[in-house]
A and B are shown apart, each in its own frame.
Chain A
Amino acid sequence: MKQIHVKDIAETVERLCIQACTALGDDWWQAMENAVSLEESPLGKDLLGIIRENAGLAASTGEPICQDTGLAVVFLEIGQEVSITGGSLYDAINEGVRRGYINGYLRKSVVSDPLIRENTGDNTPAIIHTEIVPGSDLRITVAPKGAGSENSSGLKMLKPADGEEGVIRFVMEVVEAAGPNACPPIVVGVGVGGNLEKSALLAKRSLLRPLGERHPKPHIAKLEEELLKRINSTGIGPQGLGGRITALDVHVEVHPTHIASLPVAVNIQCHASRHAEAVL
């Protein structure tokens, strides 16, 4: 049994919160380079340039890319041969978030009760998704998610007869309604199948996949291409001010579902596609 102390987990989460909020991945830089070369609108090109300049500045100064440093969404993949020692795992995650958001000068955007709405002051609690997997590693992914794009997301329980065309129609509805509010160029995460909550989690998780990478199943990869083409035909463009590049990519994840169900969740990610991971 591999032993991992909660102190190491808290330290890792602290570091990942700061890293995710200040530095974007190589896949993002590549996707933005492609976007600039494909964008036809002069203003759109300028806006993509500003977004890249901002990301470069954030990476070099350690200033957050965006002031909405989001809810801290934490994905845990815990190897079944790992033993967590020294205290509570979830307490350690929240301690890491607390320290990351305080020591990293990140914005605290969490209210303790959705109706009373008092700020918790340290951006806790995190939203934690835990999966038990084979092996002896603990993989931690921190994906801060801002509200502009999260509030533009949606979920619908379609009928099986709606089929692929119904899925496309609903994704387009969500993207059109999101418009500039979600800070395009966006990344569109789609979860199809499972049930209500499974589809939402699939959509969120799909946002962690590197930009430019297609689903391994050919018919899903084809659906991703079709959706990307349609989304980039809307004219919404960078910041919603018109142009060719509304989305940098579309990721679809699927799961077995009920004979009577076709759930579809669409999780919109703003251009600041922030996530950072570590393996202990």
Chain B
Amino acid sequence: MKRIRTPLDDETIRTLKAGDQVALSGVLLTGRDAAHKRLVDTYKAGQELPVDLRGQVIYYVGPCPAKPGKVIGSAGPTTSSRMDPYTPLLVRELGLKGMIGKGYRSKQVVDVLKAQCAIYFLAVGGAGALLAQRIKQAEVIAYPDLGAEAIYRLEVEDFPLIVGIDSQGRNAYEEGQAKYRLAGA
């Protein structure tokens, strides 16, 4: 288990290989479909963005509401591929360095990870109650009107992740599945 902190620099990213288990601490920003669309539309319109993405990691999550006395409700990853159309711009133009989600990514995303030395992490899908315990602080910092889809700033401690696609473009899904595929399947 490798322990890393945000913000991420190229040197750290290069040490991480597809399939590595990682414990990440520091700040994460959340964002899903609606927030991605607004960020990209705002950038394209030449207006100022509400968050600075340089060196940051976006967690694709729409959490449950926090119960009284809790930091956040259940908070596991959502399907990343819905963000694929927006990701290359966020990485290339806005300096985003990492993403956390679940599932496959497009070739365009893999290409931009390689070109910009960025990384895609996986969190365990459907383990939202467990993951929420590693979130120590949560506040909405942009787009509060989007509710669960607003951009939150999260502080996490030893957030458990697996490197899904590393900065060389290696893919933990392909490599893992190839080992267990039986003949004739």
Contacts and interface: CB of A to CB of B under 8 A. Distances in A.
A57 B125 contact: no
A107 B148 contact: yes
Given A67-B74, A67-B75, A240-B103, A41 B176 contact: yes
B100 to A, nearest CB: 13
B172 interface: yes
B41 interface: no
Contact of B179 (A64, A147, A242): A242
A16 B121 CA distance: 34
A228 B63 CA distance: 33
A69 B160 CA distance: 22
Interface stretch (A46-54, A71-79, A133-141, A156-164): A46-54
- The prevalent SS among residues of B at the interface is loop
A151 B179 CA distance: 27
A107 B62 contact: yes
Most interface-central of B76, B102, B104, B175 (chain A CB within 10 A): B76
Contacts of A69: 64, 74
Nearest to B179: A242
Contact of B185 (A147, A148, A234, A240): A234
B12 to A, nearest CB: 22
Interface string B64-78: 111100000111101
Interface string B152-185: 0000000010100000000011011111111011
Most interface-central of A62, A241, A243 (chain B CB within 10 A): A241
A106 B64 contact: yes
A239 B125 contact: yes
B182 to A, nearest CB: 4
Given A41-B179, A67-B75, A54 B128 contact: yes
B141 interface: no
B102 A183 contact: yes
Contacts of B126: 51, 54, 65-66, 183, 270-272
Contact of B62 (A67, A105, A244): A67
Contacts, number: 162
Contact of A105 (B67, B78, B122): B67
B50 interface: no
A61 B130 CA distance: 11
B61 interface: yes
Nearest to B103: A181
- The prevalent SS among residues of A at the interface is loop
Interface in B45-72: 61-67
Given A230-B185, A233-B182, A242-B176, A58 B103 contact: no
A70 B111 CA distance: 33
Contact of B130 (A44, A50, A243): A50
B129 A58 contact: yes
Interface of B: 19, 61-67, 73-76, 78-79, 81, 102-104, 122, 124-130, 132-133, 147-148, 160, 162, 172-173, 175-182, 184-185
Given A43-B19, A179-B173, 11 more contacts: A41-B176, A43-B162, A43-B176, A65-B126, A105-B67, A106-B65, A107-B63, A108-B147, A240-B103, A240-B176, A242-B178
17 contacts: A51-B124, A63-B64, A63-B128, A64-B74, A65-B129, A66-B125, A68-B78, A68-B128, A109-B62, A180-B122, A181-B103, A233-B185, A235-B177, A237-B177, A240-B176, A240-B177, A271-B126
Interface of A: 40-41, 43-44, 47, 50-51, 53-54, 57-58, 61-69, 105-109, 119, 121, 147-148, 151, 179-181, 183, 230, 233-237, 239-244, 270-272
